[in-house]
């Protein structure tokens, strides 16, 4: 399989257009049928593959950073009589299992980013539907805060995966229908088993859409609603955006090198070591100077590069089972950069950078790799970077120094950021999740904000898993990595997904939890993907043959 690149920009889009008119933007989906990421299928009827969604994710990100004056966004189709037919079925039928699951995970994260923009950036999304809106197309609409459907006798919304393909919606459709739109269970049951979907007034009555409007007034009402939505937003009217310039990145067979981090790949050991480089200079004096730095501002540059590195490992390095996080640099500088953002959290750009870090860390949380943090002399696991240690399944910290190494002893430093801004999908901070059974430990840790905590103190506070001295360090880390690499990857994926999200369930944890369970089971069952299964026989005129045993 060719390497998948998650970097793009509007000049390279083949499937989307961004049209901006003052406070309103329109995201126009006009999929190029011949523009599939791989050979062997055509993207007919605005169906999509990962390439289409990579562009969408990029557009959503650019609207937040490059267009701060945009307050309302409409997702619309550029084709007649179809909004979106959903994920391309030929692509799904021919894709490897791992690609299908990673595709679904990425589309979920993109739709979560749309909801995050609405909830936390006051850049609200609306879906304006004309024509057929089915499967993943309706899941895209569900990410919007407001859905308008034209009542023209043919336009409809549908989740037809079960009757047509013997699978389930892979991008949160069932969960959002019940948990977000609060559709009655019996009506949801009907909706998800009707191939042709639901139209007009019934779709509105069942809360599948917010408005079903006469076709003659569709464009007028869409414009009115966008104006109303924009009027409720407090995004700045006259702020200049920050251009998300291309990443500084070089790739080789065994490494990916960025300006702020390096990924070293040990294929024999199935380990990718991600080493983060702390900032080398003091932060800007104020947000005006940060804005002048733009995409070169260290926290934004690092967030973009780490995001790309995680996506690269997910999509292109399927046999790498472990991601080991390391860091080196000046902890005081890391703290200074984060404090600048936290002190100016009301500024639109500071807010967007903090929210982006929240999304990147969530991407780490739901990545199906074993995660370990290795905290060594000279490291800078401080504030937002300490979140990587708390996101890890285990953390190892070296006590003291290494003979012949003049770097200072390993230390972990907490900041205000570790106590709220970067919440996990479960709605809790990583420290709250870590200490779910002993909440007083969170307050004990809070009292240590700003203090460099060496190994003994970090261990006493419960912030690391194991502490070893210079004599035992290399052996203990090696034993852990070798042991982990020899466990069943399927068992590890299941175990890690269960253990990472202690505490309350949210719509987000349910979406990802169900994705792990459903897609890793249903997408491998012969009723779906076997030679006589529904996904393989769709469109051939042959009926699917099911094994009717309930499991």
pLDDT in tens, 189-239: 999 999 999 999 999 999 999 999 999 999 999 999 999 999 999 999 999
SS3 of residue 29 by DSSP:
strand
Percent of the chain topping pLDDT 70: 99
pLDDT digits (tens, 9 = 90+) for 359-377: 999 999 999 999 999 999 9
d(CA 152, CA 164): 25
Name the average pLDDT for the chain: 95
Q: Give the CB-side neighbour count of residue 382, counting CA atoms within 13 A.
A: 27
**pTM for this model (two decimals):** 0.96
Could you give the dihedral angle defined by the CA atoms of residues 26, 30, 31 and 35, in that order, rounded to the nearest 10 degrees?
-100
pLDDT of residue 523: 82
Q: In the structure encoding, which two tokens stand for residue 509, read together?
A: 């944890």
Q: How far apart are CA 18 and CA 402, in angstroms?
A: 54
Q: Are 255 and 249 in contact (CB under 8 A)?
A: no
Phi-psi label, residue 209: left if phi above 0, alpha if psi -120 to 50, beta otherwise: beta
Mean pLDDT score, 532-546: 89
Q: Which tokens go with 325?
A: 């996080």
Query: What's the confidence (pLDDT) of residue 274?
Result: 98
Residue 143 clears pLDDT 80, i.e. is over it? yes
In the predicted model, is pLDDT for residue 455 greater than 80?
A: yes
pLDDT in tens, 285-328: 999 999 999 999 999 999 999 999 999 999 999 999 999 999 99
Helix or strand run (H / E) with residue 81: none
Spatial CB neighbours of 307, under 8 Å, sequence gap ≥ 6: 356, 359, 360, 363
Mean pLDDT for 499-528 is 85
| 52-106 residue pLDDT tens | 999 999 999 999 999 999 999 999 999 999 999 999 999 988 889 889 889 999 9
516 pLDDT more than 80: no
Residue 368: per-residue pLDDT: 93
pLDDT at 1: 62
**For residue range 174-183, what is the model confidence (pLDDT) as tens digits?**
999 999 999 9
Picking from 88, 219, 242, 53, the residue whose alpha carbon sits closest to that of residue 150 is 219
Alpha-carbon gap, residue 226 to 26, rounded angstroms: 10
Sheet holding 452-454, edge to edge: 381-382, 411-413, 452-454
The predicted pLDDT at position 120 comes to 96
Please tell me the class of the 10-231 domain: alpha beta
In which residue ranges of the chain is CATH 3.90.226.10 found?
Answer: 10-231, 249-499
Q: What is the DSSP string of 297-362?
A: SHHHHHHHHHHHHHHHHHHH-TT--EEEEEEES-HHHHHHHHHHHHHTTTSHHHHHHHHHHHHHHH
Output the six-digit token pair for 303: 């967030």
pLDDT tens for residues 8-47? 999 999 999 999 999 999 999 999 999 999 999 999 999 9
**pLDDT by residue (tens digit) across 400-452?**
988 888 899 999 999 999 999 999 999 999 999 999 999 999 999 999 999 99
373-397 per-position pLDDT tens digit: 999 999 999 999 999 999 999 999 9
Query: Above pLDDT 90, what percent of the chain?
Result: 88
- What is the residue whose two structure tokens read 């459907």? 149
The CATH superfamily assigned to 249-499 is 2-enoyl-CoA Hydratase; Chain A, domain 1 (3.90.226.10)
């Amino acid at each position: 399989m060719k390497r998948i690149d998650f970097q793009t920009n509007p000049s390279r889009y083949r499937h989307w257009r961004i049209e901006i008119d003052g406070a309103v933007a329109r995201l126009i989906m006009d999929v190029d049928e011949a523009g599939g990421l791989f050979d062997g299928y055509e993207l007919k009827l605005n169906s999509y593959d990962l390439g289409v969604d990579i562009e969408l994710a990029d557009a959503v990100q650019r609207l937040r950073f490059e267009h701060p004056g945009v307050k309302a966004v409409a997702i619309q189709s550029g084709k007649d009589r179809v909004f979106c037919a959903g994920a391309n079925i030929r692509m799904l039928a021919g894709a490897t299992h791992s690609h299908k699951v990673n595709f679904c995970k990425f589309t979920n994260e993109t739709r979560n980013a749309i909801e995050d923009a609405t909830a936390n950036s006051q850049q609200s999304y609306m879906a304006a539907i004309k024509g057929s809106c089915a499967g993943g197309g309706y899941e895209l609409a569900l990410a919007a805060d407001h859905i308008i459907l034209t009542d023209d006798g043919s336009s409809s919304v549908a989740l037809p995966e079960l009757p047509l393909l013997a699978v389930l919606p892979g991008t949160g459709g069932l969960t959002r229908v019940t948990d977000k739109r609060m559709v009655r269970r019996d009506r949801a049951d009907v909706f998800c088993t009707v191939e042709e979907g639901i139209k007009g007034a019934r779709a509105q009555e069942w809360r599948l859409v917010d408005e079903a409007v006469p076709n003659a007034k569709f464009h007028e009402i869409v414009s009115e609603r966008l104006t109303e939505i924009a009027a409720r937003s407090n995004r700045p009217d006259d702020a200049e955006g920050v251009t998300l310039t291309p990443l500084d990145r070089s790739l080789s067979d065994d490494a990916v090198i960025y300006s702020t981090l390096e990924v070293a790949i040990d294929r024999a050991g199935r380990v990718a070591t991600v080493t983060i480089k702390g900032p080398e200079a003091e932060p800007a004096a104020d947000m005006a100077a940060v804005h002048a730095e733009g995409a070169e501002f260290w926290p934004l540059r690092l967030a973009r590069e780490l995001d790309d590195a995680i996506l690269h490992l997910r999509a292109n390095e399927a046999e790498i089972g472990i991601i080991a996080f390391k860091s080196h640099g000046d902890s005081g500088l890391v703290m200074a950069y984060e404090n600048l953002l936290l002190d100016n959290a009301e500024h639109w750009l500071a807010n967007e950078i903090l929210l982006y870090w929240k999304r990147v860390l969530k991407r780490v949380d739901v990545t199906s790799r074993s995660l370990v943090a290795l905290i060594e002399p000279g490291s800078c696991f401080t504030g937002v970077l300490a979140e990587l240690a708390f996101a890890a399944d285990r953390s190892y910290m070296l006590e003291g120094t290494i003979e012949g190494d003049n770097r200072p002893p390993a230390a972990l430093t907490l900041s205000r950021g570790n106590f709220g801004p970067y919440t996990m999908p479960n709605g809790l901070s990583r420290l709250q999740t870590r200490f779910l059974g002993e909440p007083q430990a969170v307050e004990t840790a809070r009292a240590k904000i700003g203090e460099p905590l060496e190994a003994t103190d970090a261990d006493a506070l419960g912030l690391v898993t194991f502490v070893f001295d210079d004599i035992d360090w290399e052996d203990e880390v090696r034993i852990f990595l070798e042991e982990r690499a020899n466990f069943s990857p399927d068992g590890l994926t299941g175990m890690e997904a269960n253990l990472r999200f202690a505490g309350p369930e949210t719509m987000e944890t349910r979406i990802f939890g169900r994705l792990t369970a459903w897609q890793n089971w249903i997408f491998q069952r012969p009723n779906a993907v076997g030679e006589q299964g529904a996904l393989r026989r769709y469109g051939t005129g042959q009926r699917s043959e099911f094994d009717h045993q309930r499991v």
